[in-house]
Amino acid sequence: MRPIRLSMLAALRGWIAVLGGCALLVTLGSALAGDSGPAIQENSRPAREWRRLSVESIRMYKEGRLAEAEQTMSRAAEIANRFTPGDPRLPETLHMLGFLYQEHGKLAEAKACYLRAVHLWERLGPAHHQQLSKTIDNLLEVYVLARDVTAADRLIRTRLPEMEGSSDWKDRATFLNMRAALAFRERRLADSELDYQQSLRLWLEHSPEQERNAAVVLLNLSTLYAVLKRHQDALDAAMRAIAILDGPPTYRPDLVHALESAGFALSKLNRYNDAEQQYSRAIATSKEVFGNDHPATGRVIMGYSAVLRRLHRFTEAKALAGDAQRILRSQKPSNATIDTFELGLLSR
């Protein structure tokens, strides 16, 4: 079963993911213009090359070319690493690179980028508190995806008090999602459902730019309903998420999870032919987004094999289960745990 997200989507809390089209380029434009931090020699050759690579990486991401976007942003980070100490472009670029790693399921690499960005934001001081908070939220998301719930719970408890007092509706919606996830972890499932519903309402009340975050809450609700064995509700939430996510290339990582959630709910409702269709599409999408040997692909294949057994297609099911086990066993630990050094970086 997919993990509940403790933080909201990194896309809307960071610089790189845009749900609406131009918001990212506007934000990046502010960074390129040097709105904060020291003078950054905009006309220098390294600055021009950094700008070109950053914009190119964002374009690739919006086209769904994750691997190419990741490689291009990595080159931008190499250039930013040579800028003057205290230049905010380095933590900005590390945050963006971390997000691309995160979308691609490379959690250890994303964690390393976010931790370094956190360290740099802290050194830049209180003027960059907002950027620091966004990077910490993305780091929190990585801990969740890596199923390091101890680290995630610790971070969420540091973020909730600050977010609760915010007047920004996005912070309120994100706070409700975080609080719901914490209630889910503590098995206060009725409280969790109420907070998820309130968070979802806030995202849906606002512009279409927020639709991917609405889909994230719907996926969290689908997971909650599966635990409650309310499988029709779980299916309805997953199908609503699919309706949102089925289209833009930037939505495809979440589409994989939505299709998997729908397939799981359908199998619990004994609708195995329908479940097979969702799982089959989830596998194809996961291979395209993450690759053939990614653990996300392995988990979807394992779910699909269970459905095939219910359809008495035992030979296919056995072969697929073997493939899934090979993929999952071959994965190295994500190393996404929190230690004393990390806690020192994150203390404020």
pLDDT of residue 175: 87
Sequence-ordered alpha helix ranges (H) in 81-148: 89-103, 107-124, 129-145
Residue range of the domain that includes 276 = 229-331
Asked if residue 210 is part of any domain, the answer here is: no
pLDDT of residue 15: 37
Q: What angle do CA 44, 45, 49 make, to 5 degrees?
A: 120
Cα–Cα distance, 274 to 262 (Å, whole number)? 9
pLDDT of residue 147: 75
165 Cα distance to chain centroid: 24
Asked if residue 276 is part of any domain, the answer here is: yes
Report residue 321 as tokens. 């289960």
Residue 271 has pLDDT above 50, yes or no: yes
Q: Convert 231-257 to b/e letters by CB count within 10 Å (16 or more is b).
A: bebbbbbbbbbbebbeebbbbbbbbbb
pLDDT of residue 332: 58
Cα–Cα distance, 212 to 240 (Å, whole number)? 11
CATH of the domain at 238: 1.25.40.10
Amino acid residing at 238 = A
Mean pLDDT of 23-47: 49
pLDDT of residue 74: 96
Under the banding of pLDDT at 50, 70 and 90, the label for residue 334 is: very low
Residue 32 has pLDDT above 60, yes or no: no
If you average pLDDT over each of 10-14, 126-130, 291-295, 320-324, which comes out highest?
320-324
Among the ranges given (51-60, 68-77, 94-103, 130-139), the one the predictor scored with the smallest mean pLDDT: 130-139
Mean pLDDT of 72-91: 93
Report residue 43 as tokens. 């006309």
Residue 303 has pLDDT above 80, yes or no: yes
φ, ψ at 131 (rounded to 5°): -65, -40
Q: What angle do CA 37, 159, 74 make, to 5 degrees?
A: 50
Could you give the number of structural domains in the chain?
1
Q: What is the pLDDT of residues 275-286, one digit of tens each?
A: 999 999 999 999
Residue 8 has pLDDT above 80, yes or no: no
By the 8 A CB rule, do 104 and 250 touch? no
Under the banding of pLDDT at 50, 70 and 90, the label for residue 26 is: very low
Mean pLDDT of 140-165: 81
148-152: which pairs have CB atoms within 8 A and are 24 or more residues apart? 148/336, 148/337, 148/338, 149/185, 150/338, 151/336, 151/337, 151/338, 152/6
Asked if residue 340 is part of any domain, the answer here is: no
Asked if residue 283 is part of any domain, the answer here is: yes
By the 8 A CB rule, do 1 and 122 touch? no
Under the banding of pLDDT at 50, 70 and 90, the label for residue 4 is: low
By the 8 A CB rule, do 306 and 280 touch? no
Asked if residue 185 is part of any domain, the answer here is: no
Mean pLDDT of 319-332: 89
Asked if residue 127 is part of any domain, the answer here is: no
DSSP per-residue codes, 22-80: SHHHHHHHHHHHT-SSS---TTSHHHHHHHHHHHHHHHHHHTT-HHHHHHHHHHHHHHH
If you average pLDDT over each of 70-74, 145-149, 340-344, which comes out highest?
70-74
Q: What is the pLDDT of residues 199-212, one digit of tens each?
A: 999 999 886 677 88
Report residue 336 as tokens. 């996404």
Residue 192 has pLDDT above 60, yes or no: yes
- Give 179: exposed, middle or buried? Use CB within 10 Å, 0-12, 13-18, 19+: buried
Asked if residue 236 is part of any domain, the answer here is: yes
Amino acid residing at 102 = Q
pLDDT of residue 42: 65
- Give 145: exposed, middle or buried? Use CB within 10 Å, 0-12, 13-18, 19+: buried
Q: Please give the radius of gyration of the chain, using alpha carbons only, rounded to the nearest integer.
A: 20
271: left (phi over 0), alpha (psi -120 to 50) or beta: beta
Mean pLDDT of 103-110: 90
Q: How many residues does the chain have?
A: 348
Report residue 326 as tokens. 């090979």
Asked if residue 36 is part of any domain, the answer here is: no
Cα–Cα distance, 143 to 29 (Å, whole number)? 30
pTM: 0.78
pLDDT of residue 9: 47
